[in-house]
Amino acid sequence: MRLLTFVAAALAAVPLLAPAQSFPHRAVKIVVPFGVGGSADVYARYMGAKLQESMGQAFVIENRPGGGSIVGTDSVAKSAPDGYTLLMMSNTHTVNETLIPKKPFELMRDLAPISGVNSSDLLMVVHPSVPASNLKEFIALAKSQPGTLNYASSGPGTPYHMAGELFKAMAGVDIVHVPHKGSDQARAAILGNQVQMMFDAITTMAAQARAGKVKLLATTGKTRSAITPEVPTVAEAGLPGYEATIWLGLMAPAGTPRPVLEKLNTEINKVLNAPEVKESWTKQGAVPMGMTIDQFDKFLREDIVKWEKIVKLSGAKVD
């Protein structure tokens, strides 16, 4: 009887193990719900290449921007829960749980956490034609011309949007938000002097600042960035308590087998813990953010609560 019980238990475990043992046996798609050239796109392609090396199958990147990440995210939420469609997401998603409550999905109901990827500070930049050389001068300029200055973002709820709204609320200025379909378009708008200001990831805007194509006023972390140590934080430069960063993570459709999620988590963390990855990303201003599935789940739920407070403080709305 004991032998039969053992055999039955072993057979019952086979369906749970099989998906992970055979996964992946074909190409995996990573949907990036943002435009080409932004940090989510850049690191999705990096992670895809590394996972392809370690897991022996192609990891294909598909950019599906629109609606401040809603379009691409909904496509993943409605995909088969088999591990072959993944989502590269960011704090845009935790913001949107409050900012855009009427979505076709709920983040923690319809998607399953896998792991964090990385985090980085933002840069506050202005077009070279803007007559302000530091944060205090820019705030004074904005106060003297309410409603006439514009700032770009890659869409509603994105870290660039929320950094701008938090800045407006704390500085007491009226600057017009100009959303774009992706960070590449937002970046082109400030480089082309179509808008005056933007918050952008240090990993994608630092090179433009070094080339003199934009003026760098401040960084948005708690401490100065090692990439731009000569530049003060927003908090240092005149708005104590200000902080805004961008982080990235990977999720899958809810219902994806736990063994598949665990296998992906293991392989992702191998990449994030590799010394050459840490060294390379540090030079870019990115900090690896590997976590267990449960740790990332807890992180996401706490971030939703955090951004709920900031959305209410800033008064940010989506038309």
pLDDT beyond 90 at 198: yes
Same fold, 2-119+246-314 and 121-237: yes
Superfamily of domain 121-237: Periplasmic binding protein-like II (3.40.190.10)
* pTM, 2 dp: 0.85
Return the domain boundaries, the chain. Answer: 2-119+246-314, 121-237
**276 neighbors 131 (Cβ within 8 angstroms):** no
- The structure tokens 């869409």 sit at 155
**175 neighbors 186 (Cβ within 8 angstroms):** no
Q: Which residues contact 189 (CB under 8 A, 6 or more apart)?
A: 152, 178, 180, 195, 198
Residue-wise pLDDT for 257-295, tens only, equals: 999 999 999 999 999 999 999 999 999 999 999 999 999
Whether omega before 257 lies within 30 degrees of 0, making that bond cis, reads: no
Superfamily of domain 2-119+246-314: Bordetella uptake gene, domain 1 (3.40.190.150)
| Mean pLDDT for the stretch of residues 14-28 | 74
CA angle at residue 251 from 250 to 253, to 5 degrees? 155
| Mean pLDDT for the stretch of residues 226-230 | 92
